[in-house]
Structure 1
Amino acid sequence: MTRTGATAAERVVHFVLPGDVDDPAAPSGGNIYDRRVCRDLPSAGWQVRPYALPGSWPRPDATACAGLAQRLAALPDGAVVLLDGLVACGVPEVLAPEAARLRLAVLVHLPLADETGLDPALAAELDAREHRTLHAVEAVVATSDWAARRLVTHHGLAAARVHAALPGADPAPLAPGTDGAAGLLCVAAVTPRKGHRRLIDALATVTELPWSCACVGALDRDPGYVAQLRGAVATFGLGDRITFTGPQAGADLEASYNAADLLVLTSYAETYGMVVTEALARGIPVLATAVDGVPEAVGQAPDGSVPGLLVPPGRPAALADALRGWLGDPQLRDRVRSSARGRRAMLEGWEMTSHSLAGVLEQLRHKPRSTR
């Protein structure tokens, strides 16, 4: 018996999400992006039917896999389905049987093997699974132009099947900051990929200058790593200057941005780096490692200047030098802050994200179902 989907006039997307997407204790760029898609796609003409599935994605147990398989099997023939890559990329054996019947697209926030600290054998396995998944579906959506190009080349995907839908940035008032220099802010889950250890090491070289650094982000992803960081802070005698606040949202997060003079992001891998544009929306300059999609997020001001300091990821001394320059050179700070405010006026909102994604879904809706 053939199941019928939406009528020709309806635009409905079934959005499969990680189970913690709405958990305030588990904030992440991916979860924020997914929630905005759910909220904003209707204004672009698409009804969203979200399904948050519990599981230890991307390495789920049999129960979680069965839950995903049942959810997909219950959808009508020809349904347009968008799956968060954290859920989809590790389970090609679940998606492939439905690929000919459903119109599937995967939203890749971070390639699975790019997570820092993975055992090489596990990284290779996840990469192979992601490869199979992305070749099974009709469309792939990345969150930066850099990430889209990477997926095409790394997985050998047809460029026409890979699309970019960049995160937007909400307008925000200018952050007042502190003294214009000393208030440093790092907004990132405390995991090895985010590079907190190299930030701490660099800060330990500039203790003669005034600064304080608030590290805002989840502390429960890798407790062993958090313990190592706390040990390093204690060893360097920086307990009164570096704080780990845990995750923040709403007014608490806004207060942290308002107290910031500089955002620091020292990641080893980032497909985009949404916190970069969140800071720039408040006129806060950025110091970041120039990895992957981060330079794309930082961008340029109208005069071509860079609204921050980008340092090579493989040179710890460059990070320390950049911090010393920011803290010790008022003219440098003035130039970078002026550039950040110029970039602030150029940031695109989330409506552009929804517009880009709606275009991908519209193509998918009209495309004949795969015979692969």
Structure 2
Amino acid sequence: MTRPLAFAIPGDIATLTGGFIYERRLLMGLRQAGHDVRHLVLPASFPDPSDADMAAAVAALADVAPDRPLILDGLVFGAIDTGGLARVRAPLVAMIHHPLALETGLAPDRRDHLFRTERDNLRLVRHVLVPSPHTRRILIDRYDVPRHAITVLRPGVDRPSLPPAPSTPPLILSVGILHPRKGHDVLIEALSSLGDLDWQAVIVGNPWDRDHAAALERRRAASPVAPRIRLAGRVTAEELEALYSRASVFALATWYEGHGIVFDEALVRGLPIVSCRGGAVPDTVPPAAGLLVPPGDARAFAGALRGLLQDAGKRQAMADAAMAAGAALPGWQQMADRASRMLSGL
């Protein structure tokens, strides 16, 4: 039996980040499963709302009927006033991609404030949805959330619409918003030491942090291999699919991930992965399909890329492992159906 639900998400649900894609597909899938899901559009300023935006968000959440479980996006949940959240009558379900205090580059007082706010807010919820075992472990160990109150809801994945058609020279593809946490600057530094090899690289990502995006372009332009690296910015779904089809290696020098949907997209296309041991990446990337190095270590990242570019046999073995792992990943509706069963049983 399905039940009415509400899903509160800040800003434009069509925003191109892994978190928004995850939540958009969950919303669509819950409706497909038969739920009446009320979509609450909260101010886009979270997790740094103005006083007016905070008040508007609290009022919108408090208006949800008590018979309608309310899924609350982590950008809001980890930053909303605890006293205001306590006024909400609907059963609360937090969706935590990764705790906000773990974001890269936070000042110590900001990090402490977000930690305390999210920890206090978690005491008000009926259940928590997370994308990975890593995030589940953090919430249990650091935020005192009971183990039984957390469901790991691994994101789904779409199957590729184009067959593999690797480019010559090999294409190294990176996909992730242009934000310091994604480590594109580390990738550019790593690529800059590989000028003796034959390759091309494309970095795709919505310019989430425009100052950082401008700094990345300056770094790329100053690189000795600048003509071989393209900062593509935001691309259409069709362009991205074509890039995945042409790629030989997927590379993301991320500092931290709560899951990393782009890794699943690489796996279903049989791409060897080079990334970093940050957050949930080791949970997401199978050892046989990926080479993981310490975050921020451009030399180690370059070494992993060099090994793949120079050893076609190793690259093929990792590609085969990636394809096998990708075949076992759930689709988006499978993910939503699992969430539906949990929410119906609250």
TM-score normalized by structure 1? 0.88
Is 1:89 the counterpart of 2:78? The answer is: yes
Could you tell me whether the CA contact under 8 Å between 2:166 and 2:247 is conserved in 1?
Answer: yes
Q: Which residue of 2 aligns with 1:222?
A: 209
How far 1:70 moved relative to its partner? 2.0
For residue 294 of structure 2, what is the amino acid of its counterpart?
A: P
Is 1:75 the counterpart of 2:64? The answer is: yes
1:208-219 pair list within 5 angstroms: 208-219=196-207
Q: In structure 1, what is the Cα distance between the partners aligned to 2:270 and 2:109?
A: 43
Q: In structure 2, what is the Cα distance between the partners aligned to 1:72 and 1:314?
A: 39
Q: Which residue of 2 aligns with 1:312?
A: 294
For residue 164 of structure 2, what is the amino acid of its counterpart?
A: A
Q: 2:140 aligns with which of 145, 152, 158?
A: 152
Q: In structure 2, what is the Cα distance between the partners aligned to 1:127 and 1:137?
A: 16
How far 1:268 moved relative to its partner? 0.5
Is 1:325 the counterpart of 2:313? The answer is: no
Going from structure 1 to structure 2, the CA distance change for 1:337 and 1:56 (only over 3 Å counts) comes to: same
Deviations along 1:19-51, whole A, 9 cap, x unmatched? 1212xxx30001101110111113434222111
SS in 1 for 2:9: strand
Deviations along 1:327-358, whole A, 9 cap, x unmatched? 11112112112212222222221123113312
Could you tell me whether the CA contact under 8 Å between 2:43 and 2:57 is conserved in 1?
Answer: no
Q: In structure 2, what is the Cα distance between the partners aligned to 1:140 and 1:193?
A: 24
Q: Which residue of 2 aligns with 1:233?
A: 220
SS in 2 for 1:319: helix
1:54-203 pair list within 5 angstroms: 54-91=43-80, 92-98=82-88, 101-172=89-160, 173-179=162-168, 182-203=170-191
Q: In structure 2, what is the Cα distance between the partners aligned to 1:183 and 1:321?
A: 17
Q: In structure 1, what is the Cα distance between the partners aligned to 2:63 and 2:327?
A: 45
For residue 247 of structure 1, what is the amino acid of its counterpart?
A: R
| Unaligned ranges ≥5, structure 2 | none
Q: In structure 2, what is the Cα distance between the partners aligned to 1:31 and 1:109?
A: 10
How far 1:202 moved relative to its partner? 0.9
For residue 224 of structure 1, what is the amino acid of its counterpart?
A: D
Q: In structure 1, what is the Cα distance between the partners aligned to 2:71 and 2:115?
A: 20
How far 1:10 moved relative to its partner? 5.2
Deviations along 1:267-314, whole A, 9 cap, x unmatched? 1010111000111112222111122211222236xxxxx112222325
For residue 307 of structure 1, what is the amino acid of its counterpart?
A: A
Q: 1:242 aligns with which of 209, 216, 229?
A: 229
Instruction: State the percentage of identical aligned residues.
Output: 34
- Of 310-319 and 346-355, more deviation after overlay is shown by 310-319
Q: 1:270 aligns with which of 220, 241, 257?
A: 257
Going from structure 1 to structure 2, the CA distance change for 1:192 and 1:296 (only over 3 Å counts) comes to: same
For residue 166 of structure 1, what is the amino acid of its counterpart?
A: R
Could you tell me whether the CA contact under 8 Å between 2:62 and 2:87 is conserved in 1?
Answer: no
Q: In structure 1, what is the Cα distance between the partners aligned to 2:316 and 2:164?
A: 15
For residue 202 of structure 2, what is the amino acid of its counterpart?
A: A
Could you list the structure 1 runs, at least 4 aligned residues long, displaced by more than 6 angstroms after superposition. none
Q: Which residue of 1 aligns with 2:11?
A: 19
Q: In structure 2, what is the Cα distance between the partners aligned to 1:134 and 1:248?
A: 37
Could you tell me whether the CA contact under 8 Å between 2:171 and 2:247 is conserved in 1?
Answer: yes
How far 1:360 moved relative to its partner? 2.7
Deviations along 1:198-234, whole A, 9 cap, x unmatched? 1111111111101111111112x32222232222222
TM-score normalized by structure 2? 0.94
Deviations along 1:69-127, whole A, 9 cap, x unmatched? 221232222321111111221012321222xx320111011210121111121111111
For residue 18 of structure 1, what is the amino acid of its counterpart?
A: P
- Of 61-70 and 164-173, more deviation after overlay is shown by 61-70
CA RMSD in angstroms, aligned pairs only: 1.7
SS in 1 for 2:95: strand
Q: 2:323 aligns with which of 318, 330, 341?
A: 341
Could you tell me whether the CA contact under 8 Å between 1:68 and 1:94 is conserved in 2?
Answer: no
Q: In structure 2, what is the Cα distance between the partners aligned to 1:352 and 1:237?
A: 46
| Unaligned ranges ≥5, structure 1 | 1-8, 301-305, 365-372
Could you tell me whether the CA contact under 8 Å between 1:214 and 1:245 is conserved in 2?
Answer: yes
